[in-house]
Amino acid sequence: MAPQQCASGKPRVLAIAGSLRQGSYNRRLLDLACQGAKAAGGEVTELDLGRYPLPLYGADLERTGLPEPARALQELVRTHDGLLIATPEYYSTLPPLLVNVLVWVSRAAAAGQACVFVDKVAGLLSASTAQTGGLRGISQLSSILGNLGAIVVPYPVGVSYAQSAFTSAGELHDKALEGRVAGVGRSVIELIQRLS
């Protein structure tokens, strides 16, 4: 779980899918956004949250110390300039997996350090099997990340009816939409470059 080291000087982006489901549409969507980030000159670390099992957050549990996976995830966020997050929405809000990860990873402040999300540039996406494209969850994610000090790029992308949106090769049938997805990745890289 050690963070990957980068000597290239390229903007570094951590890509996080809010679903562990095999065949996840959000994982596919994230891959397309990552391609946009790479094409814009970024270096992407694709995170598998399944490798970072975390207990359900509780303040009493936190007082016994941060779980090792939380420390490892904090280090990964700390050593990247930005985030790409593609997540489903569950019941119009965020899935518990992602909320739990965000809460644990945000808790560096409890140890007297700055929250690791401060000044991280974040691009957000969602794929959902409904018409709404997961944008209600994305709106809440934008709010949470803003509260944690991250800078969320405008124009998140929601993919509706994800079950029929992707080709067997993992691309989107709608090429204009695919361009907007890649654009989220590109925007993250461009904002990191402008801020540095």
Ligand X SMILES: Cc1cc2nc3c(=O)[nH]c(=O)nc-3n(C[C@H](O)[C@H](O)[C@H](O)COP(=O)(O)O)c2cc1C
The nearer residue to ligand X, 24 or 106, going by C-beta atoms, is: 24
How many residues bind ligand X (CB under 6 A)? The answer is: 17
The nearer residue to ligand X, 82 or 95, going by C-beta atoms, is: 95
Which stretch in 23-31, 35-43, 77-85, 108-116 sits in contact with ligand X by CB under 6 A? 23-31
- The contact mask relative to ligand X for 70-109 (x = CB under 6 A, - = no) is ------------------xxxxx-----------------
The amino acid at 176: A
User: Would you say 123 and 45 are in contact if contact means Cβ atoms under 8 Å apart?
Assistant: no
Helix (H) or strand (E) holding 192: helix 175-195
CA distance 76 to 73: 5
Q: Out of 45, 79, 100, 132, which residue is the one contacting ligand X (CB under 6 A)? A: 132
Which stretch in 19-27, 52-60, 100-108, 114-122 sits in contact with ligand X by CB under 6 A? 19-27
Q: Does 26 bind ligand X (CB under 6 A)?
A: yes
CB count in 10 Å sphere of residue 128: 25
CA dihedral 138, 139, 140, 144 (to 10 degrees): 90
Q: Out of 11, 15, 19, 180, which residue is the one contacting ligand X (CB under 6 A)? A: 19
User: Would you say 121 and 153 are in contact if contact means Cβ atoms under 8 Å apart?
Assistant: yes
Tell me which residue of 79, 76, 95 sits closest to 87, measured CA to CA.
Answer: 95
CA distance 168 to 170: 5
- The contact mask relative to ligand X for 136-175 (x = CB under 6 A, - = no) is --------------------------x-------------
Provide the binding-site residues for ligand X, judged by CB under 6 A: 19, 21, 24-26, 88-92, 127-130, 132, 134, 162
